[in-house]
Structure 1
Amino acid sequence: MRITLVHPRDLGRPEVDRWRALQEAEPTFDNPFLSPEFTIAVGESRDQTRVAVVEDGNDVVAFFPFERHPLGIGKPVAAGLTDAQGMVKDAKAEIDAQTLIKACGLGVFEFDHLVAGQPMLAERHELHPSPIIDLSDGWAAYTDYLTANSGKTYKSTLAKSRKLQRDVGPLRHDYASTDPAPLRTLLGWKTDQYRRTGRTDRFATRWIVELVERLLATQTEAFAGVLDMVYVDGVPMAGHFGLRTRNTLVGWFPAYDTAFAKSSPGLIHHLAMAEAAAAAGIKLIDMGRGTKEYKEKLKTGELHVAEGRVARASAGAGVHWMIRVPVRKARGAVMANPVLLKTADRALKTYGRLRTALQA
């Protein structure tokens, strides 16, 4: 078995086709964050991006995308942004995690959204739910599920949609638009949301904006950026930018105009998006790790992703442990305690309001 490191831009058409074939052969890997196009797009902005190409005899059996940071610390591609991480490999390939990270020049590889079927996965790693909407039986079957399991939410959202149209104007839904103008509107809403809730504004970082723009311009049968907007009386109300494979759409950046907050614009939009996605052939919407209220109301089930690290004896791994592991454990304790989580969320929102007031 041989492991060769390349920059994503150096992958040829045979390698990209092989990567996609391995991905499409295993349902666990059917996520656009694991697609070759995503890693190639990130590589345009992040020079530390690498791909380990694993060969067994004459066959390429795996692709492992990662970022190499100082002290031999490895992270997933676009760490902090992605909801699915890991290696795309042949189901029969047996790859040792320690051998892999050593060949990549890493002392440690950390992750927080590692999908199943990975050589890095161990029993000690923490598992977290990633809510999904199953559309494999079509839109009608999904609405039947909502009626039976989230009937109050579904009916009230439809009622709010009808009232909004009576009071303001007709709704229009644009699914899979490639127009950059509404994308800028959506990112503006998302920036306001980050600041309002005390979070770091991701779109203050130029390479992230460039990445989103690059992904919007990527439109193929196997992979595409999906911009989705709902308008009321011609005015943008809510939207989402995500990614898709042939069968899976991932939730990434949803946001709405707070002027319409009383009308539940996020729920109205998500239902419209799910209906359009089902009509376009999408079988699954992965809403990403987390237990936000809207996800709980819309989900039909959940996948699981892992958080943790794989390390070998090295100075970098020791430094990484001291910096990251205690913080991760403390965050996990907060997330697992409803009282602590509510208190932390309230504190962040208070900070966000103060910061917004000072900036104004």
Structure 2
Amino acid sequence: MRVTIVLPRELGPDEVSRWRALQEADPAFDNPFLSPEFTITVGALRRDVRVAIISEGPDIVGFFPYERHPMGIGKPVAAGLTDAQGLVLAKDVELDPRRLIKECALAVYEFDHLVSGQPLLSPQHERYPSPIIDLSDGYGPYTEWLRQNSGKTYKTTLAKSRKLQRDVGELHHEYATTDLGPLRTLLGWKTEQYRRTGRTDRFAHQWIVELVERLLATQSESFAGVLDMVYADGRPVAGHFGLRTRTRLVGWFPAYDTAFAKYSPGLIHHLLMAERSAEAGIQIIDMGRGEKEYKEKLKNGEFEVAEGRVARAVPAAGLHWVMRVPVRKTRAAVLANPLLHRTADKALKTFGRLRTVLQG
């Protein structure tokens, strides 16, 4: 095995084509966060992004995108934003994870959404479900599944959609638009949601705003930013920005106007998005790891992602363990306990309300 480290902008057309071919050869890698376009776009905005090109003899057999932080701490590209992480590798390639991170000048590589089939995986890594909407049989069979398994949610959502149209006006769904206006409306809703729920506002970081705008402008058959918005009588009600490959759409930034909250606009939007996605050839909508009520109501399947780290026996890895692992285990314990989870979520929302009042 030979490993060559490059900046994303140094990848040539042949290397990008090889990356894409490896990705499309294995369904485990069918996720836009693992696409070369995503890493190249993030790399244009962040100096810490690298790509390890893995070769055997004259052949490139894999790509490992990552961020290298001080003290040799490795993280996924756009860590904290991505719902799929890991290598894109040819089948049957044997790889020593610790040798790989040594070649990348890393003491440790940590992850929280590592996809299945990775040589980085080990039995001690925690596994978590990542809910999906499976549209491989089409939208009709999916709604039939909802009727049988989540009938109350499906019927209530349709009823609220009709009421929204009676009260406000006709619904219009704009799918796969590249207009920046609706995107900025959506990001404004998302910022309000972060503040309301006590979370950190990701869009307070200008590079993330620019990343989303650049991804929206990236449109090809194999990779694209997908923005869709639902309107009632011309007024934006709910929307979503995500990324797609040829057959998979990842849920990333869904949001809605809270003025319409009583109509469940998020659920209305997701059903409309699923219908248009299926028409566009999308077979899977990956809603991402995390326990959210709307995901439980809409999912008809799930993938598995892992959280953990690969570390070498060096001092920096030991310091990283002290600083990160106990915190991560505590967070996992809170999320796994319904009572603790509800208590923490309530505390965050209370903090969000107080912060909004003080900032106002």
- How far 1:38 moved relative to its partner? 0.2
Partner of 1:113: 113
Q: Deviations over 1:175-230 (max 9, x none)?
A: 00000000000000000000000000000001100100000000000000000100
Say if 1:52 and 1:64, in contact at 8 Å, map to a contact too: yes
Match of 2:3, SS state, is strand
Unaligned runs of 5+ residues in structure 2 are: none
- How far 1:62 moved relative to its partner? 0.3
Q: Deviations over 1:152-189 (max 9, x none)?
A: 00000000000110111000000000000000000000
Partner of 1:284: 284
Partner of 2:311: 311
* 1:254-293 paired onto structure 2 within 5 Å: 254-293=254-293
Partner of 1:97: 97
Partner of 1:204: 204
Match of 2:116, SS state, is coil
Partner of 1:32: 32
Q: Deviations over 1:117-141 (max 9, x none)?
A: 1111000000011000100000101
Match of 2:64, SS state, is strand
Q: Deviations over 1:30-63 (max 9, x none)?
A: 0000000000000011111000000001110000
User: What is the alpha-carbon distance in structure 1 between the residues aligned to residue 68 and residue 316 of structure 2?
Assistant: 12
What is the one-letter code of the residue matched to 2:355? R
What is the one-letter code of the residue matched to 1:163? K
2:54 pairs with 1:54: yes
* 1:157-168 paired onto structure 2 within 5 Å: 157-168=157-168
Partner of 1:359: 359
Say if 1:71 and 1:315, in contact at 8 Å, map to a contact too: no
User: What is the alpha-carbon distance in structure 1 between the residues aligned to residue 93 and residue 170 of structure 2?
Assistant: 54
Partner of 2:81: 81
User: What is the alpha-carbon distance in structure 2 between the residues aligned to residue 319 and residue 214 of structure 1?
Assistant: 36
Q: Deviations over 1:80-116 (max 9, x none)?
A: 0000000000011111101100000000000000001
2:143 pairs with 1:143: yes
Partner of 1:227: 227
- How far 1:277 moved relative to its partner? 0.1
User: What is the alpha-carbon distance in structure 2 between the residues aligned to residue 339 and residue 92 of structure 1?
Assistant: 44
- How far 1:314 moved relative to its partner? 1.1
Partner of 1:63: 63
User: What is the alpha-carbon distance in structure 2 between the residues aligned to residue 265 and residue 316 of structure 1?
Assistant: 47
User: What is the alpha-carbon distance in structure 1 between the residues aligned to residue 54 and residue 106 of structure 2?
Assistant: 16
- How far 1:333 moved relative to its partner? 0.6
User: What is the alpha-carbon distance in structure 2 between the residues aligned to residue 327 and residue 245 of structure 1?
Assistant: 34
User: What is the alpha-carbon distance in structure 1 between the residues aligned to residue 348 and residue 249 of structure 2?
Assistant: 30
- How far 1:266 moved relative to its partner? 0.2
What is the one-letter code of the residue matched to 2:270? H
What is the one-letter code of the residue matched to 2:162? R
Match of 1:296, SS state, is helix
What is the one-letter code of the residue matched to 1:139? Y
User: What is the alpha-carbon distance in structure 1 between the residues aligned to residue 118 and residue 69 of structure 2?
Assistant: 22
Q: Deviations over 1:14-39 (max 9, x none)?
A: 00000000000000000000000000
Partner of 2:175: 175
Match of 1:185, SS state, is helix
Q: Deviations over 1:245-271 (max 9, x none)?
A: 000000000000000000000000000
Match of 1:4, SS state, is strand
- How far 1:291 moved relative to its partner? 1.4
What is the one-letter code of the residue matched to 2:28? T
Partner of 1:300: 300
- How far 1:4 moved relative to its partner? 0.2
Say if 1:243 and 1:251, in contact at 8 Å, map to a contact too: yes
What is the one-letter code of the residue matched to 2:357? A
2:9 pairs with 1:9: yes
- How far 1:324 moved relative to its partner? 0.1
What is the one-letter code of the residue matched to 2:33? F
User: What is the alpha-carbon distance in structure 2 between the residues aligned to residue 146 and residue 266 of structure 1?
Assistant: 16
* 1:180-191 paired onto structure 2 within 5 Å: 180-191=180-191
RMSD of aligned residue pairs (Cα, Å): 0.4
User: What is the alpha-carbon distance in structure 2 between the residues aligned to residue 346 and residue 152 of structure 1?
Assistant: 26
Match of 1:21, SS state, is helix
Match of 1:111, SS state, is strand
What TM-score does the superposition give when structure 1 sets the normalisation length? 1.00
What is the one-letter code of the residue matched to 2:314? S
User: What is the alpha-carbon distance in structure 2 between the residues aligned to residue 27 and residue 124 of structure 1?
Assistant: 24
Moved >4 Å (runs of 4+): none
Say if 1:223 and 1:246, in contact at 8 Å, map to a contact too: yes
User: What is the alpha-carbon distance in structure 2 between the residues aligned to residue 118 and residue 283 of structure 1?
Assistant: 23
- How far 1:316 moved relative to its partner? 1.1
2:341 pairs with 1:344: no
Match of 1:122, SS state, is coil
Say if 1:61 and 1:90, in contact at 8 Å, map to a contact too: yes
What TM-score does the superposition give when structure 2 sets the normalisation length? 1.00
